[in-house]
Structure 1
């Protein structure tokens, strides 16, 4: 045996080697989950937001960005808003009009873009409706309430371009999107103005998008590619956790890029999408991709201010509250 390496020496050598290995591992290992800030996102189980955030988790984009993303499934959009306000989640998806209204009431929420997709006015393939002018006397299903923003825009366009007062010159039926989809499929409605995932499902069945909400905005002189909905969070949380928010933005941007470029990335989402056939699957995928925001600059934010004023004129206090203009700070710009 070599001098100096008896049994005790071997033990010491083994201990030193083990310690060195542990130090090397500690230096090289990624940040453990317990050390990453947790972001709880309130989602609807089968909502489109789940597609993006599930992609983040499946590809460990959150880990790479130094955060741990947890999805909290909730029953509906009002439930997500309540959860955010109560501190049960850090992030939800909602529209910037609601964010502005909450800020005007003293609740400091902020918004970053998620999607430009809104919805469309859909008619059956063989319908004689070729333009908005043909809506006179028709039965129109509207997803939501009489204060739905898309309905307000459609009414404004019908009045400005065709002299139609749709409240008087057509029959409007307000309801939940799945019900309206069934009604137009059964022939009980002549047209449906609905949110984009439900419009996509109708398109996949051979129906025709007469006009998208983006088309309506453009026709009214408004920005057509403005992000309509976005990730919403408490400003206080964002200022206290800037690295966590930056990590969330990085992770979701990676998910958007993957879903834009890779058809294979969508295959694992098929069950979550609840696509009953290949046509529905492809149409939902394509409409999601079309809604990925391409730009978010001062120009878009200024455009939102102009659109707010139009919506305030169309919907009044019931829609926007007492604020005549969009509340400062509605759009998060990095905490400056």
Structure 2
């Protein structure tokens, strides 16, 4: 039987299609992400998965819940997970001590000194001799930056002149509401809830950081992973960066998405609106290079006041602390 040239081409195309159809689909890049079970990162990750931004960017995201930050750090260093959320100062210290951890920015949202709306405290100078609640411990970065500011500009050492009470964030907020503390320094989402319940911001930690030399907001937290893993799985990292950005973009423009998240956030009404607005303010807008440069400036401030207990023996922020490969 004679076969025309057109028929030959058609058969060739059909044959190629059949071969391609029988090939397995390219497997999605797997990422094991460890997070605190009730942390604010879960809001972004829920949005990411709800709208299938992970699948759209070629990643298979497995979220593993942990009860505490120490547990995520240990799991990360043991290779049990591929990525966590942590702060750049910890990453820098790990790199300075021979590790290869790196991060890309997650959020510039940080805490603030909060006082009741009717409080006579109007400036940071008024904090002298007051009872101040601080979430975390003596080496909390936000607390160190506030201290650095008052020491430099006012000549006041708050840790010596005021009654400092350290505690878990929920307890610090509760004691403030009960009137047992004159002012509190808490994490950003606890501050937002306080704002919705009769408190005002005295000074934000980002404001203190800018006064101390930062040119803009610096992400307090980032998605952390090993350089080696990133080099071996570049598509996974790039896919996650894109998916994270898409989730943030949706949260930045959609109020309905926040209403969907309300049961997870455990807030409604004015409190939900404050959390939404503060989250949006914390979405990174600058280049990674700009954030890294400012983090390096703040490192010197923190190292001067926190000493070796905070940064170890490294005089500078470790090169590579911020991962910039996706933006090259």
In the superposition, the TM-score normalised over structure 2's length comes to 0.91
For the Cα contact (< 8 Å) 1:204–1:279, is it kept in 2? yes
1:303 and 2:294 aligned: yes
Correspondence for 2:275: 284
How big is each residue's C-alpha offset from its partner over 1:165-196, in whole Å with a ceiling of 9 and x where there is no partner? 11221110001000000000001000000110
- After TM superposition, the structure 1 = structure 2 runs for residues 87-126 of structure 1, keeping only pairs within 5 Å, are 87-126=79-118
1:326 and 2:291 aligned: no
1:58 and 2:58 aligned: no
C-alpha distance in 2, partners of 1:288/1:30? 41
Partner SS for 1:102: helix
Correspondence for 2:121: 129
> Of 143, 147, 158, which aligns to 1:151?
143
C-alpha distance in 1, partners of 2:179/2:149? 25
For the Cα contact (< 8 Å) 2:133–2:165, is it kept in 1? yes
C-alpha distance in 2, partners of 1:120/1:291? 13
C-alpha distance in 1, partners of 2:276/2:56? 25
> Of 223, 230, 247, which aligns to 1:255?
247
Deviation at residue 25 of structure 1 after TM alignment: 9.5
- After TM superposition, the structure 1 = structure 2 runs for residues 207-246 of structure 1, keeping only pairs within 5 Å, are 207-246=199-238
Correspondence for 1:13: none
Deviation at residue 31 of structure 1 after TM alignment: 4.6
Partner SS for 2:325: coil
For the Cα contact (< 8 Å) 1:140–1:191, is it kept in 2? yes
Is the deviation greater in 326-335 or in 149-158? 326-335
1:316 and 2:316 aligned: no
Is the deviation greater in 232-241 or in 258-267? 258-267
1:198 and 2:217 aligned: no
Deviation at residue 221 of structure 1 after TM alignment: 2.4
Deviation at residue 92 of structure 1 after TM alignment: 0.7
Is the deviation greater in 93-102 or in 162-171? 162-171
Correspondence for 1:11: none
C-alpha distance in 2, partners of 1:183/1:25? 64
Correspondence for 2:65: 73
Unaligned runs of 5+ in 1: 1-18
> Of 134, 139, 142, which aligns to 2:131?
139
For the Cα contact (< 8 Å) 1:46–1:274, is it kept in 2? no
C-alpha distance in 1, partners of 2:181/2:25? 55
* Bigger CA radius of gyration: 1
Deviation at residue 23 of structure 1 after TM alignment: 4.1
Q: Taking structure 1 as reference, are residues 128 and 114 closer, same or farther at Cα in structure 2, changes over 3 Å only?
A: same
C-alpha distance in 2, partners of 1:24/1:75? 48
In the superposition, the TM-score normalised over structure 1's length comes to 0.89
